[in-house]
Structure 1
Amino acid sequence: MKLKKLIKHGLNGVVVFCTILSSCTMSSNKQASYTAEMRAPAYPLITIDPYTSAWSMSDQLFDIPVRHWTGKTQSLIGAIRVDGEVYRFLGKEDIPLKAIVPMASEGAWKAKYTTSKPSKNWFKSDFNDKSWKEGNGAFGNNGNQNAQTIWETEHIWVRREVSGVDLSGVSKVYLRYSHDDDFVLFLNGEEVLNTGNSARDNRIVEFDASLLKKDGNNVFAAYCQDRGGLAYLDFGIYVENDREQAFSKTAVQNKVALSATQTHYNFTCGPVDLDVRFISPLLPGDLDILSRPVNYVDYDVVSNDGKEHEVQVFFEMTPEWAVNSPSQEAEVTRGTINNLAYVKAGTTKQEILKRKGDNVRIDWGYAYLVAAADQDKTVGLGDYNGVKNDFKQKGMISSQLASKVTRPSQEMVSMFVCDNLGSVGLKPAQSTVMVAYDDVESIQYFGDNLKAWWAHDGEVSFDEVLTLAANDYVSVVEACNKLDNQVWNEALNAGGKNYAELCVLAFRQSIAAHKLVKDKQGNILFLSKENFSNGSIGTVDVTYPSAPLYLKYNPELLKGMLNPIFYYSESGKWTKPFAAHDVGTYPLANGQTYGGDMPVEECGNMLVLTAAIAHQERNADYAAKHWEVLTVWADYLLENGLDPENQLCTDDFAGHFAHNVNLSAKAIMGVASFGRLASMLNKNEIADKYMSAAKDMAAKWIEMAKDGDHYKLTFDKPGTWSQKYNLVWDKLLGFNIFPKDVIQTEIDYYLTKQNKYGLPLDNRRTYTKSDWVVWTATMANSNEEFQQFIDPLHLFVTETEDRVPMTDWYETPNARQVGFQARSVVGGYFIKLLE
């Protein structure tokens, strides 16, 4: 693809805040149906890809700092000055807590530890730990940047002694901790924390200061269990810093509402009203715009008392957007491009595609703040506190720096736009900013460094894409409004208001957990990242639950999710007779890095999804391209799928086992899918063979799994049960190889097993997976039954105390997060729309 060269001078990798000329027509932005006025666990603000991601994790936009999905501060601050009075409406300064007992991010700490089970009094203050090893915290396996002592066993016990704790003048004390997975903490022999089976990063909770001795030693005793994947243990005690917010007065938030691509806030700021909209143009039907690394933030101000008021608006970002750790060195400079003024920040090392893993942020490319270069706007950088004081006192920024090399952890720099709207009355004053990211190189794919889709192999520069985004603003927002209304109406009609709200919240989260690129041959690659799971890229059993969103709105994106796995086998790089689990660790897609295989799981997933694509497209052309490897996988399921041996599957949180009934159902769906594909390709003998085999397997499944009024968890264990969500494809793809009374029997039984916040995954534990709940609900024959499953899930989303981008793994009795967040699998909520 060739674009007309719009700008001669190119930029390197960038994050951009760009104020579009306020002459842009804004009326189109009013057309979206902001119907989901729900309390979300976290509100999407900037959602581009797994790296460029910013969320409001509180009820009001100004309650806490804006954060990356990982929980790290990704500061955005917005303030409005009305007749000299300043109101903060966006974000909050992240005034760091003061370490009394520091975590490893402030420096390694010494402790005794053992990986062999100690005696029962190991947590007591007077326990003799002389035989234990000595090491520096934090403790974790490779891949954890703050891990000072490598821990690679399942269990670890740690004792840390601290003396001289000074709490004079302190009103509040906080426990800060990170762990993966189960974590128990004792202080001076008393248990103070027990997380159960969960993983958390940088969690902060208020702590009872009376438990700390002011004189003498305090003994912290910690236990952690690693259930697989990452392993980590770190903790500390902190107190509040005495520095105050520069913008202490806040606006009054009147509402927050969500649509598929937009988050809309309304505020009262004294005598004026302020609308702010965060727009992510993740349009599945337009891959250039979907992959375009640009989000819009638009705002308009109008008088609410009929009088004229002098108004200035302030937006600020920081170099935190350009680093993984605030201790990294970044350079901040400013300049101009044609009619744009900018300020940019980026790490001085620029180690492109060097960092991989789960709980990390990008540290290559540049963070840009850009605005139209006109007399009403000031774009620049300056002292973090001085800039805000200037805005408070004068409504303008007078002191600026030309450039600065800084470490955010030591000295923060303000990157700002100050917009003088002048006198504002009943006619709204309107403007727009853009947040964008050019990561230079996005993915390493089997040795090749690939640029994002929008760059078209380097033919399109960032200058061009930024200019296109500004020029296309009106048409893009109109397209977003149209899509928003479509998604809302289709979900509402399919499953009711609560279901529609879940879909609206899932839309951006799912898409932005991927990166869209193309390989050297031009094939589409839509690569997922396992956020807060293990950081894998292109995971098949993440693709499988995510697929319904893409099947509904553009199957090409689902092909982009399957293509890496097909290539991996067809190239000979993966030689096993079943599908791989993943193709690497994000952003390096050079081959499977997960420690175990999931043969039946992944073969079934690939076959079912290939058939689902054919069903949506009304042809099997895509399957024909991959027929040889699909045949290998189908034969594997024929031989091994009916009664699976002891092998991993996607739901093995409570341990894997043999004779898995739901995994067997997936294998049967996979065999039937292959038969359907053969039929569509006029391979009639093959079609008869595999469809007959699937029907025979289904009959045996019923006989083996039957357990009175339900079907078992494993064929060999009566008195057990599990969600059989894989059977949904029998309905959606029209196989009809399981009698309808089998499904109804399960649905009826499930409705007797629900807790307040939903249906558990199986009889072993009370937690569930939200994606599978929606799949199970879709198996129901009536909307009334469907909503009986959806309403508790909706209640979880709106009541959970865990303020993170929607988790898919939580406890059904109390709505607590077990693990995972911001994952793409919530795209599975759209499965009801495939009926």
Structure 2
Amino acid sequence: MIKKSKIIFAVVGVLLSNCNAQKEETHLENSLRAPAYPLVTIDPNTSAWSYADNLYDESIKHWTGKNFPLLGVIKVDGQLYRFMGKEEVELLPLSPTGDNLAWDARYVTSTPGANWNKLDFDDKGWRSGKAPFGTKINEPRTVTNWEDEKIWVRREIILNEDLTDNDVYLEFTHDDDAILYVNGMEVVNTGNKTGKNTKIKLSDEVVKTLKKGKNLLAGYCHNRVANGFFDFGLSKEKEGQTFFANTAKQTSADVQATQTHYTFACGPVDLKVTFTAPMFLDDLELMSRPVNYLTYEIKASDNAEHQVEVYFEASPNWALDSPLQESTTEAFEDNNLVFLKTGSKNQDVLGKKGDDLRIDWGYFYMVADKQNTTYQIGESSVIRSSFIKNSEADVKNGEGKNQLSLTKKITLKNTHTDKIMLGYDDVFSIQYFGENLRPYWNAGGKSSIVEAFHKSYTQYKDIKAKSTAFDHKLMSDFTKEGGKDYAELCALAYRQAIAAHKLVKAPNGDLLLLSKENDSNGSIGTVDVTYPSAPLFLYYNPELAKALLNFIFYYSESGKWTKPFAAHDIGTYPLANGQTYGGDMPVEESGNMLILTNAIAEMEGDAKYAEKHWSVLTTWVDYLVENGLDPDNQLCTDDFAGHFAHNANLSIKAILGIASYGNLAKMLGKDDVASKYTNIAKGMAKEWKQMAKDGDHYKLTFDKPDTWSQKYNLVWDKIFDMGIFDADIAQDEIAYYLTKQNVYGLPLDSREAYTKSDWIFWTATLAPDLSTFQKFISPVHQFMHNTTDRVPMSDWIYTDKPERRGFKARSVVGGYFIKMLAGKVK
């Protein structure tokens, strides 16, 4: 039966200290309409967002776009108001995507004949294969390897019913461009972009063609550079009952660095809901503790007494890669707390790797104090009906598609504040060169998730006050340094950047802050993802900047990586057993490692960290001396429009990498070495200027006049006053860039209209004054405010339309903090 606490606890205390209340009075609201709102942000696996303007418009989603259902409903004097999430409409697969089961297809990789997308087309000459199609080395879900530039796919499906008058959806994943057809009718044309787990509702006209018997889904995909992937399928809505159709009225949404605030009108009461993720980079135990808070404050707007109930419901999807997996659920009490727990039945710990995956080992928890609390586990229709009718339902511990719910009952006389806690125990987080590592908060295995929740409950008041003070300080300080648009973007970027990492401790005791290359290829510890994200960590805690580099140093120093340049990655998340990316980035990654090692030394005021790794740094710098001035045709972090040689911006990185080594040598008292490499860097910089000069600006590549690119790598020369490149280079570039801006920002280079938003912040930091800096930042703010792509912030976006080109939820938005880093150094 429903469990109800028989113990009445004393009032915990006021929500915020007097000091914090003063902060609330001067609260600096974020006016940005976020592309997606961060809600529960712990790590790449437990990362939940609202993709809509109103918290109740859509189901809460994982950053990959898969539903993480979390419902919130308030009952006021018997009237229901849904304020969070949406009752999930179950989709029944008609022809499932390849998430769980490969499907049969006919395909070709050269242009087919006319009408190839029609059911009666003769495809006997086509190859047979199992989908999904993709580049196996970088896309682990791939069944049939596809490395050609283009692919055409036909999928015949047999329907057992006529689907007229049904709501039918096409789900697809594509990298890059895709065109999809249903029975010969075009239903999707993405243009030049990527996407994962996209669902579109088919029009009535298309649905009418889906008759009983044989039908055809057909698709074309264009892999422009690398990491091709293509998968599609069909599903229909299952008819079901809606229990919570009536919604509250949302009156505000406000994203701060560690908190997201919502306010609602719910008839005669006002409701404030706050999601808090205490990600303080100077407190590693708390930062890595996998517990977030959901605080709710209810106030009677009419000063009358009301009977109020607050209902929260979570789905096992939080602990599953696919909703089709079997799960187990459990409820238990421990001292003053009630725990609702769910996880997969299989518990294949660290059994999967890849990008478009959700964790399916370990356990999700929803926790509350027992005072005035009831809880239920069961089928959604049963527990929702029970809440509405104030009846009791069985608690069904065990297997099955059971939902978890908590209900708080309140007699509201004025204002009431309470909380629940949401968290995840992944047990083991990372496999590091064959050894399974626990999360940092429990590195020694001597704690437990139950203890972590109790600690979070006890510390709530102080943590909440600290979060509010931190958020206020960030908005205030960043506004002074870069303007309000800058502060608002950084507030949104903060949790996204941190939650794209996992903090663990290596067997040798080193801190490891391992990124997941979200929405790209799923690599773990990618150096050219570390490089743009590093300013956030350099600004708040250089020890975490070291943790971004330690595993790459170990990889070379252990002899596991034997090439004379830095590796690209150490595996595919969460398996860090060695590089899995298909190509090397020799100049890119070596320059990144040298520059960031020098940045750590500058922030700490000594080069002891560099001294530990001097041998491998020397190997890398000598590689750059030989190969960095005029790089050959190789991969780099900006090769979206194709690989090319003679990359002028990549050359800057190499030169500043060499200069960084010279500076480190000077700090270590190696004067001869310092002089040698600093002079080499200065000499190369002079050559660079002659090679790259193109009238009033500098070229994209040394061999192509009438081209240009953002020279964002120059920013380190300015930040640390290295004196390697002539100052007029940056001045000329900034003036030129201002003539090339589009409505939503500065293109990455002269080849395409898209850009990388993180690099814009680096380029803008080269500006001579705040006014010019803001000219580059305001268009990015406008993009994020207006974009039609409702996903966690994308860093690869178009500058001439409010659409993303690809990527979302990546750590590289930590690069937005480079302006603050520059201000901290000067």
Fold match (TM-score > 0.5): yes
**How many Å apart are 1:108 and its aligned residue?**
5.5
1:701 aligns with 2:696: no
In structure 2, stretches of 5+ residues that fail to align are 1-7
Partner of 2:577: 590
Check conservation: 2:366, 2:420, Cα contact below 8 A. no
Partner of 1:48: 42
Select 1:178's aligned residue among 173, 196, 207. Answer: 173
1:538-557 alignment runs, 5 A limit? 538-557=525-544
Select 1:684's aligned residue among 663, 671, 682. Answer: 671
**How many Å apart are 1:558 and its aligned residue?**
0.7
1:601-640 alignment runs, 5 A limit? 601-640=588-627
Distance 1:24 1:232 in 2: 53
Letter of the structure 2 residue corresponding to residue 298 of structure 1:
T
Check conservation: 1:100, 1:166, Cα contact below 8 A. no
Select 2:810's aligned residue among 823, 826, 834. Answer: 823
Distance 1:416 1:496 in 2: 43
In structure 1, stretches of 5+ residues that fail to align are 1-18, 407-411
Aligned residue pairs, count? 806
Check conservation: 1:310, 1:424, Cα contact below 8 A. yes
Check conservation: 2:794, 2:806, Cα contact below 8 A. yes
Select 1:26's aligned residue among 9, 12, 15. Answer: 15
Select 1:79's aligned residue among 73, 78, 82. Answer: 73
Select 1:248's aligned residue among 225, 245, 248. Answer: 245
Distance 1:47 1:536 in 2: 20
- CA deviations over 1:789-811 (Å, ceiling 9, x no partner): 11111111011111110010011
Which region of structure 1 is more displaced relative to structure 2, 354-363 or 227-236?
Answer: 227-236
**How many Å apart are 1:347 and its aligned residue?**
1.5
Secondary structure at the counterpart of residue 652 of structure 1: coil
Check conservation: 2:744, 2:780, Cα contact below 8 A. yes
Distance 2:90 2:41 in 1: 25
**How many Å apart are 1:208 and its aligned residue?**
3.2
**How many Å apart are 1:475 and its aligned residue?**
1.4
Report the TM-score when normalising by structure 1. Answer: 0.93
Partner of 1:235: 232
Partner of 2:205: 210
Distance 1:330 1:238 in 2: 22
Check conservation: 2:140, 2:353, Cα contact below 8 A. no
Change in 2 beyond 3 A, CA 1:168/1:354: closer
**How many Å apart are 1:136 and its aligned residue?**
4.5
Partner of 2:3: none
Check conservation: 1:342, 1:380, Cα contact below 8 A. no
Change in 2 beyond 3 A, CA 1:381/1:541: same
Secondary structure at the counterpart of residue 697 of structure 2: coil
Distance 2:72 2:403 in 1: 12
**How many Å apart are 1:627 and its aligned residue?**
1.1
**How many Å apart are 1:317 and its aligned residue?**
0.8
Distance 2:495 2:318 in 1: 20
**How many Å apart are 1:34 and its aligned residue?**
4.9
1:273-284 alignment runs, 5 A limit? 273-284=270-281
1:300 aligns with 2:305: no
1:75-474 alignment runs, 5 A limit? 75-99=69-93, 102-104=96-98, 109-119=103-113, 122-123=116-117, 127-142=121-136, 149-161=144-156, 166-170=162-166, 173-187=168-182, 189=184, 191-211=186-206, 213=209, 219-227=216-224, 230-374=227-371, 376-394=372-390, 398-406=392-400, 412-421=401-410, 423-426=411-414, 428-474=415-461
Letter of the structure 1 residue corresponding to residue 209 of structure 2:
K
Change in 2 beyond 3 A, CA 1:22/1:51: farther
Report the TM-score when normalising by structure 2. Answer: 0.94
Which region of structure 1 is more displaced relative to structure 2, 62-71 or 122-131?
Answer: 122-131
Change in 2 beyond 3 A, CA 1:635/1:710: same
- CA deviations over 1:286-312 (Å, ceiling 9, x no partner): 111111111111111110011100011
Secondary structure at the counterpart of residue 805 of structure 2: strand
Distance 1:440 1:106 in 2: 24
Distance 1:439 1:200 in 2: 27
**How many Å apart are 1:496 and its aligned residue?**
0.5
Partner of 1:57: 51
Check conservation: 1:60, 1:253, Cα contact below 8 A. yes
**How many Å apart are 1:173 and its aligned residue?**
4.9
Partner of 2:567: 580
Distance 2:609 2:468 in 1: 32
- CA deviations over 1:756-780 (Å, ceiling 9, x no partner): 1111111111111000011111111
Change in 2 beyond 3 A, CA 1:449/1:174: closer
**How many Å apart are 1:63 and its aligned residue?**
0.4
Change in 2 beyond 3 A, CA 1:241/1:88: same
Change in 2 beyond 3 A, CA 1:364/1:621: same
Which region of structure 1 is more displaced relative to structure 2, 480-489 or 21-30?
Answer: 21-30
Letter of the structure 2 residue corresponding to residue 754 of structure 1:
Q
- CA deviations over 1:495-554 (Å, ceiling 9, x no partner): 111111100000000001001111112111111100011111111000000011111111
**How many Å apart are 1:624 and its aligned residue?**
1.2
- CA deviations over 1:461-515 (Å, ceiling 9, x no partner): 3232222111111111222122212211221011111111100000000001001
Change in 2 beyond 3 A, CA 1:104/1:642: closer
Change in 2 beyond 3 A, CA 1:664/1:554: same
Letter of the structure 2 residue corresponding to residue 348 of structure 1:
K
Which region of structure 1 is more displaced relative to structure 2, 611-620 or 230-239?
Answer: 230-239
Secondary structure at the counterpart of residue 328 of structure 1: coil
| RMSD, matched Cα | 2.1
Distance 1:508 1:424 in 2: 34
1:501-540 alignment runs, 5 A limit? 501-540=488-527
Check conservation: 1:443, 1:450, Cα contact below 8 A. yes
Distance 2:572 2:105 in 1: 31
Distance 1:290 1:106 in 2: 34
Distance 2:203 2:446 in 1: 59
1:729 aligns with 2:716: yes
- CA deviations over 1:21-69 (Å, ceiling 9, x no partner): 8624302465353521321000000001001111000000000000110
- CA deviations over 1:736-773 (Å, ceiling 9, x no partner): 22222211111111111111111111111111100001
Which region of structure 1 is more displaced relative to structure 2, 229-238 or 455-464?
Answer: 229-238
Check conservation: 1:442, 1:452, Cα contact below 8 A. yes
Secondary structure at the counterpart of residue 653 of structure 1: coil
Which region of structure 1 is more displaced relative to structure 2, 329-338 or 687-696?
Answer: 329-338
Identity of aligned residues (%): 53
- CA deviations over 1:793-833 (Å, ceiling 9, x no partner): 11110111111100100111112111111000000000001
Check conservation: 1:78, 1:316, Cα contact below 8 A. yes
Check conservation: 1:675, 1:689, Cα contact below 8 A. yes
Secondary structure at the counterpart of residue 61 of structure 2: coil
Change in 2 beyond 3 A, CA 1:121/1:265: same
Secondary structure at the counterpart of residue 554 of structure 2: helix
Distance 1:698 1:146 in 2: 45
Check conservation: 2:490, 2:816, Cα contact below 8 A. yes
Change in 2 beyond 3 A, CA 1:468/1:572: same
Check conservation: 1:20, 1:432, Cα contact below 8 A. no
Letter of the structure 2 residue corresponding to residue 158 of structure 1:
V
1:755-834 alignment runs, 5 A limit? 755-834=742-821
**How many Å apart are 1:154 and its aligned residue?**
3.6
Distance 1:687 1:151 in 2: 48
Partner of 2:703: 716
